[in-house]
Structure 1
Amino acid sequence: MADLTHARIRAGIWHGEITGRMPERLIVTYQGRIIEGLEIEPHEAGTSLRLLLPREMISEGAQTCLIADADTGETIAEISLIAGVPVAEDLRVEVASLRAELDLVKSVLRRLAMEAEARGAEPAAAAEAARAPRPARRKI
């Protein structure tokens, strides 16, 4: 099985280093189309791969190109590019969502800590802690 050990993109060219059993034939696809031009260079430590990324891959949103074993379909490498204004907005929304989830987790942990502390106290204190209002859950 081939393992991708190092990858980078520079000036529109993807470079990858593969170790392990190299498949006989590799295939590169982008949006269901086969992409030509994968350069394969074996060396002592493994195999170097080099691919000029298709121009249409440099577009807004998330774009993914796959390098796979042509015989088994096993994915060897996944090349992803993310670009454009919508991505920045998506990331801000995701960060806001994560912050809201973190606030929810913090409130649940505080409540559990209070309940645990109350169980260690007198039974009346435990009953009072159980009746305490719990924070409302926020929809995310």
Structure 2
Amino acid sequence: MRLTDGRIREGVWSARLESEGEPGPFAVTLRDREVPHEVARIEGTLWEVRVPIPPSLIGEGIQTGIVAEPGGRRLAHFTLVAGEDAGADLRAEVDLLRAELDLLKRAFRRHCAGTARG
């Protein structure tokens, strides 16, 4: 199973799902809650997944919806950004990720240098 072309329009996240035969089970979660979804065949091995986003789950900040198989394999995700400070939250998160990446790069370089010396 593979999901592509995800987008949000009029409060509904939709994507195309490619699957040989009937699609296997999967769950959509947003803010740690399972969200109902619909799957309809378009043609052949192509299906459409529709997830109406409940207004009660939309709020300030950044929320990420996850589409995953029962074993945990992530098929797709979507992000909702809302509120006045959402841009600042996003920039702060990116800055934190950059700092963590720099830390990992330095540790990796030290490890490689130590291994090369033997």
Q: Confirm or deny a common fold (TM above 0.5).
A: yes
Q: Residue type of the partner of 2:26?
A: L
Counterpart contact for 1:23–1:69, Cα < 8 Å: no
Q: TM-score, normalised by structure 2?
A: 0.65
Sort the Cα spacing of 1:94 and 1:68 in 2 relative to 1 into closer, same or farther, 3 A.
closer
Query: Aligned partners of 2:81 and 2:61: how far apart in 1?
Result: 6
**What residue ranges of structure 2 are gaps of 5+ in the alignment?**
96-118
Aligned to 1:7: 6
Q: Secondary structure at the match of 1:67?
A: strand
Query: Aligned partners of 2:68 and 2:25: how far apart in 1?
Result: 9
Q: How high is the sequence identity, in percent, across the aligned residues? A: 32
Sort the Cα spacing of 1:64 and 1:94 in 2 relative to 1 into closer, same or farther, 3 A.
closer
Q: Residue type of the partner of 2:66?
A: L
Give matches, 1:116-127, under 5 Å. Answer: none
Q: Residue type of the partner of 2:51?
A: L
Larger RCO: Structure 1 or Structure 2 (Cα < 8 Å, ≥ 6 residues apart)? 2
- Structure with more of its chain in helix, by fraction: 1
Aligned residue-pair number = 93
Query: Aligned partners of 1:68 and 1:26: how far apart in 2?
Result: 5
Counterpart contact for 1:57–1:81, Cα < 8 Å: no
Counterpart contact for 2:28–2:34, Cα < 8 Å: yes
Q: Residue type of the partner of 1:18?
A: L
- 1:32 is displaced (CA, Å) by 2.1
Query: Aligned partners of 1:15 and 1:87: how far apart in 2?
Result: 23
Q: Which has the larger Rg?
A: 1
CA RMSD, Structure 1 to Structure 2 (Å): 2.4
- 1:84 is displaced (CA, Å) by 0.9
Q: Secondary structure at the match of 1:59?
A: coil
Sort the Cα spacing of 1:34 and 1:89 in 2 relative to 1 into closer, same or farther, 3 A.
closer
Aligned to 2:18: 19
Query: Aligned partners of 1:63 and 1:94: how far apart in 2?
Result: 13
Sort the Cα spacing of 1:62 and 1:19 in 2 relative to 1 into closer, same or farther, 3 A.
same
Q: Secondary structure at the match of 1:85?
A: coil
Which 4+ runs in 1 deviate beyond 2 A? 20-23, 88-95
Aligned to 2:80: 81
Aligned to 1:34: 34
